Amino acid sequence: MQTENLIRQLQKNIPVLWTNPHFHDVDSTDSVTAELSGLRLEAIARWQWLESFIKERFPELQSTAGILDAPLIELPDQYQPLGAHPDTGRYLIQADHQFPIAGSVKARGGFYEVLLFAESLARQHGLLTELSSSTALGSEEARALFSQYRIGVGSTGNLGMAIGLMSAALGFQAEVHMSVEAKEWKKQRLRQHGVKVVEHSGDYAKAVEAGRQQAEPDEKAYFVDDERSKALFVGYSTAATCVQQKLAMQNIEVNAEHPLLVYIPCGVGGAPGGIAFGLRQLFAPHVHIFFVEPCASPCVLANLASSALANEDPARDEVSVYDWGLNNQTIADGLAVPTASGFVCSVMQQKLSGVITASDEEMLDRLRQLYKQTGIKIEPSAAAALLGPERLLNTTEGQTYLQRQNINLSKATHILWTTGGSLVPEEIFSSWLE
């Protein structure tokens, strides 16, 4: 679809499917991919080391031995995405809305970066050796050290929850800069855990910039930069290994005959980008990944489509949804981002199959449908993933992609990544059902 036509449709709130003209089914061996691949393997090993601390600090995770993950749930036969055809494969939900402690996908990256910073500080101050257990991060000496430092982040909500909760659990001072889209209940929950919430009247990009500038002159301030952080990115990327293990446990193959199609809601790009990177490392060329964004806030689509048109590096392209005449106003607060991460878009330029957009009405409709048929509670941002399969199956662009990639849908596995929602207060969830 031509960029001009894309923009016209989005301005009319008409959902689209854009397929990536730069997509390669096999990863290149460039230096950035090699670096991130190495960091991903380090992150997998670090999570294993951290399990002892996590189990000790969070008693509710005793039953999982400190392993942080969420279930991969096969949807029952009676649930079929609206418009899906029979014999189009198996449909599963990667239920990150049930992720422990913080209730969203953002914990995968947010927890990892906070714990990585804590480990680094502890090693610098002689509180950890190469043989130390991670439980040392919870010692009185470590908490006394961490209490001297402030961790900040800019967020529409869920990343702030993840960073704030883990920072507070370790003893750090925590400060979350929240954009105008952030929900009041998320602010209240953070304050209840001793996190300082700084409210901004501007959008996500402005909240991030304000937090970044405030942290820069303070040598004891650490800013988690959702637009640029490699630590966040590789934290998210480890989710792919968890998916690989769960697919194997369910005897689900991924190969040329059994392709894997994954649909992930997308805001600034860090979480879906990291997950996509990890999935590509494990399953390429047999995995096909689509980001799903609100019609009013398709920042990754704006970046990749514009850079493809101009034949430029997405990392240098700061096109905003405002440049496309869109207003960034959506019920999906976690996806209300005007400008994508240039870093993530550059990494995804040849790895992402495409971008799907969803209207607020569609997201609410699928949220209600999922709850009615399965009892699963998610938030509108997470419901964006449910639009993925039907957009791929029922559009000319989707059919063209499937034919070009020679995808056998009858033996395909579809993973719909539900990114958050289990912590939503009951009265708010009930209002979405009306």
Nearest to 252 by CA among 407, 387, 386, 91: 91
CA distance 238 to 49: 14
Tell me: pLDDT of 313 over 90.
no
Q: How far apart are the first and last CA of the chain?
A: 35
Q: Which amino acid, residue 374?
A: T
Task: Tell whether 23 and 162 lie within a shared domain.
Answer: no
Tell me: pLDDT of 290 over 60.
yes
For residue 137, give its domain range.
106-229
Task: Tell whether 168 and 216 lie within a shared domain.
Answer: yes
Last residue of a domain, one of 201, 229, 257: 229
pLDDT level of residue 144 (50, 70, 90 thresholds): very high
Last residue of a domain, one of 229, 248, 271: 229
pLDDT score for 206: 86
Last residue of a domain, one of 175, 205, 229: 229
CATH number at 143 reads: 3.40.50.1100
Least confident of 2-6, 160-164, 222-226, 280-284: 2-6
Task: Tell whether 42 and 145 lie within a shared domain.
Answer: no
Q: H helices within 73-157, ranges in order?
A: 106-124, 140-146
pLDDT score for 81: 60
- Of all residues in the chain, the percent with pLDDT exceeding 70 is 96
pLDDT score for 238: 98
Q: Two tokens at 100?
A: 């422990």
Task: Tell whether 89 and 124 lie within a shared domain.
Answer: no
Nearest to 291 by CA among 306, 309, 303: 303
Task: Tell whether 293 and 189 lie within a shared domain.
Answer: no
- Of all residues in the chain, the percent with pLDDT exceeding 90 is 76
CA distance 89 to 222: 45
pLDDT score for 311: 65
Dihedrals phi, psi of 326, to nearest 5 degrees: -100, 160
| 388-416 residue pLDDT tens | 999 999 999 999 999 999 999 999 999 99
pLDDT score for 83: 47
CA distance 326 to 337: 11
Q: Two tokens at 405?
A: 């990639």
If one counts every other C-beta atom within 10 angstroms of the C-beta of residue 372, the result is 11
Contacts of residue 5, Cβ cutoff 8 Å, sequence gap at least 6: none
pLDDT score for 315: 61
pLDDT score for 43: 98
Task: Tell whether 258 and 355 lie within a shared domain.
Answer: yes
pLDDT score for 20: 96
Tabulate helix, strand, coil % of the chain (nearest 5). 50, 15, 35
Q: What is the mean pLDDT of residues 280-291?
A: 98
Domain count, the chain: 2
Could you tell me the pTM of the whole model?
A: 0.95
pLDDT score for 207: 85
Q: How far is CA 343 from each of CA 22, 33, 227, 421, rounded to the nearest angstrom?
A: 16, 12, 7, 27
Q: What is the mean pLDDT of residues 326-355?
A: 95
Contacts of residue 349, Cβ cutoff 8 Å, sequence gap at least 6: 20, 22, 304, 307, 313, 314
pLDDT score for 85: 63
Q: What is the mean pLDDT of residues 289-300?
A: 98
**Residue 126 exposure: Cα atoms within 13 Å on the Cβ side:** 0
Contacts of residue 396, Cβ cutoff 8 Å, sequence gap at least 6: none
pLDDT level of residue 305 (50, 70, 90 thresholds): very high
Q: What is the mean pLDDT of residues 297-325?
A: 82
Tell me: pLDDT of 225 over 60.
yes
| 89-113 residue pLDDT tens | 999 999 999 999 999 999 999 999 9
Task: Tell whether 418 and 401 lie within a shared domain.
Answer: yes
pLDDT score for 180: 85
Q: What is the mean pLDDT of residues 239-251?
A: 98
Task: Tell whether 162 and 274 lie within a shared domain.
Answer: no
pLDDT level of residue 302 (50, 70, 90 thresholds): very high
Q: What is the mean pLDDT of residues 137-162?
A: 94
pLDDT level of residue 179 (50, 70, 90 thresholds): confident
CA distance 98 to 31: 35
9 alpha carbon, distance to own chain's centre:
26
Task: Tell whether 345 and 416 lie within a shared domain.
Answer: yes
308 close to 22: Cβ distance less than 8 angstroms:
yes
| 43-52 residue pLDDT tens | 999 999 999 9
Task: Tell whether 184 and 96 lie within a shared domain.
Answer: no
Tell me: pLDDT of 298 over 50.
yes
Task: Tell whether 352 and 401 lie within a shared domain.
Answer: yes
CA distance 180 to 194: 21
Contacts of residue 168, Cβ cutoff 8 Å, sequence gap at least 6: 174, 193, 194, 195
CA distance 290 to 17: 9
Nearest to 268 by CA among 367, 153, 168: 153
Dihedrals phi, psi of 272, to nearest 5 degrees: -65, -35
CA distance 198 to 319: 27
Helix axes 184-192, 158-170, angle to 10 degrees: 0
pLDDT score for 308: 67
